[in-house]
Amino acid sequence: MKRASIILSLILVLAIAGPLAAKTTFIGIGTGGTGGIYYPYGGGVAEIWTRYVKDVKAVAEVTGASVENVKLAHKGETVIGEVMGDVAVAGYKGLSKFKGKKYDILSMAIMYPNLLQVVALKKSGITNIEEVKGKNISSGSPGSGTNFMSETVFKALGIPLDSYKDSRLSFTETANALRDGTIDVGVWSVGPGTSSILDLSTTHDIHILSFTPEQVKKILGFNKTYSSVELKGGVYKGVDNDVPTIGVWNVLICQKSLDTDLVYKLVKGLYEHNDYMCKIHPSASYTTPENAVKYSPIPLHPGTIKYLKEKGISVPDNLIP
């Protein structure tokens, strides 16, 4: 994120039009690539905050997604980030790719659940995730939650990370590579009905690999933030039956040091205009105050807690920083 043209949108700055003018807080939201749901979801959040939260201007920025968003929020290059729950836990505790360094982030809101969607073309004959050995694949772009989750699942199933050739592409690039035959398997961790898979399924017969009960048991035992879910049949053309897979909740994180009253106002604006978010993508129906306390994998920001208590929602001790 070196681009000078967007640097002001990625940090908190104060724009003062005159001695008596109100201060404007600029907020950058780290999202993901344009082929997933993070980017349009983040765009909707930015629009709500700019329109309905006084003296705030927010902008959604394309990033490498979850892992990068934790690092950007910690450093203050963005102060808000869209992050998969497993990555939020790893960043908060300094695990896995964060290599022992705990990042200064807190949960702001729960977004919606991601489903792991492992896609191959039907003509490839690939039907089981363990067949990735010796294949060309894309496990998601570097720094993304998809790549993080892919490698976690591979480790849980005993698939060596050096047993396949990994291009690590964005969602759109992964769909194009499957279409062109340059990869055999592509992995998405995203809300169902993502544009890049929808587009691919309209031109090619696709197969979404299901997980066996034994595989699911191994994965859930390996990472407690995951759950067993089904991708409903009919979401994508040609995928008519439900597909057993793995799910993880997405979290809207924020920099730990953000002002309590600012976060309170942002959260209030988000929840009170959720009807607008649902018009952008139906997955936003999961973005509720109740789900914040049910599914947040890391402690909540005091500003969120202030709003929840105002609404009479009890916050468990483990979610209080």
Neighbours of 104 (CB within 10 A): 15
Q: Which CATH superfamily is domain 4-112+251-319 in?
A: Periplasmic binding protein-like II (3.40.190.10)
- DSSP per residue over 56-78, as a string? EEEEEE--S-HHHHHHHHHHTSS
Residues 255-285 have pLDDT tens digits of 999 999 999 999 999 999 999 999 998 889 9
- Considering the four listed CATH numbers 3.40.50.300, 3.40.190.10, 3.40.50.720, 1.10.1040.20, the one that applies to the domain covering 114-248 is 3.40.190.10
Q: What is the pLDDT of residues 186-198, one digit of tens each?
A: 999 999 989 999 9
Report the C-alpha gap between 232 and 86 in whole angstroms. Answer: 23
pLDDT for the residue numbered 230: 94
Which residues, in sequence order, are CB contacts of 10 under 8 Å at separation 6+?
1, 28, 61, 72, 77, 78
Reported pTM: 0.86
Q: How far is residue 212's CA from residue 220's CA, in Å, rounded to a whole number? A: 12
pLDDT tier for residue 253 given thresholds of 50, 70 and 90: very high
| Average pLDDT for 78-86 | 96
Segment (H or E) for 172: helix 171-180
Q: Strand ranges (DSSP E) for 2-124?
A: 14-15, 24-30, 56-61, 80-84, 105-121
Return d(Cα 72, Cα 61) in angstroms, integer.
Answer: 11
Could you give the residue range(s) of every CATH 3.40.190.10 domain in the chain? Answer: 4-112+251-319, 114-248
